[in-house]
Amino acid sequence: MYIDSVRNGMVIDHISAGYGMKLYDLLGLDDQDVSVAIIKNVSSRKMGKKDIIKIDADIPISLDVIGYVDPGATVNIIKNGELVEKKAMALPAELCNVLRCKNPRCITSTEQELPHIFRLTDPEHKVYRCVWCETKAE
């Protein structure tokens, strides 16, 4: 298989195997008119298997979403075919409009303009809770 190199854009690397499509969906890459390659179950000495997403365009991407889906991922920024920056991800302290509160009694279900905000309450177990009603994110 041959996948072209990224000229200007980014490579999201070290994604845990099986999480590439979830990340693709949460980042809204299907709505973008750019070249995107999703490589699943690539052999990795460090991880055994991993997923990779290559985006050949300089578009805004939420690093919080990447950190939420896989805090062990890395983001490589490519300019003119050269690696210019490498970012390690971590669990974000807060997520805004990434997840939706499932509680039907939450104020966000009746007040549509309110943002869906979740705060990290248990980093060890990756637990996020709605700031409005304390419901655990699923």
Give the rounded distance of the alpha carbon of 33 from its chain centre: 18
Identify the CATH number of the domain in which residue 17 sits.
3.30.70.140
Beta strands of 3-93 (E only): which ranges?
Answer: 9-16, 36-44, 48-55, 74-79, 82-88
Phi/psi of residue 64, each to 5°? -65, -40
Q: What is the pLDDT of residues 76-133, one digit of tens each?
A: 999 999 999 999 999 999 999 999 999 999 999 989 899 999 999 999 999 999 999 9
* Cβ burial, residue 128 (10 Å; 0-12/13-18/19+): buried
Residue 72 lies in a domain: yes
pLDDT of residue 1: 59
Is 136 in a helix, a strand, or coil? strand
User: Could you give the CA distance from residue 71 to residue 63 in angstroms, rounded to a whole number?
Assistant: 10
- Please check the confidence at residue 5 and state whether its pLDDT lies above 90: no
Q: Are residues 112 and 74 in the same domain?
A: no
Q: What is the pLDDT of residues 16-53, one digit of tens each?
A: 999 999 999 999 999 999 999 999 999 988 889 999 99
Residue 137 lies in a domain: no
Q: Are residues 99 and 79 in the same domain?
A: no
Single out the residue of 100, 76, 92, 109 nearest to residue 9, CA to CA: 76
pLDDT of residue 2: 63
Q: What letter would DSSP give residue 4?
A: P
Domain interval for residue 60:
9-88
Total domains in the chain come to 2
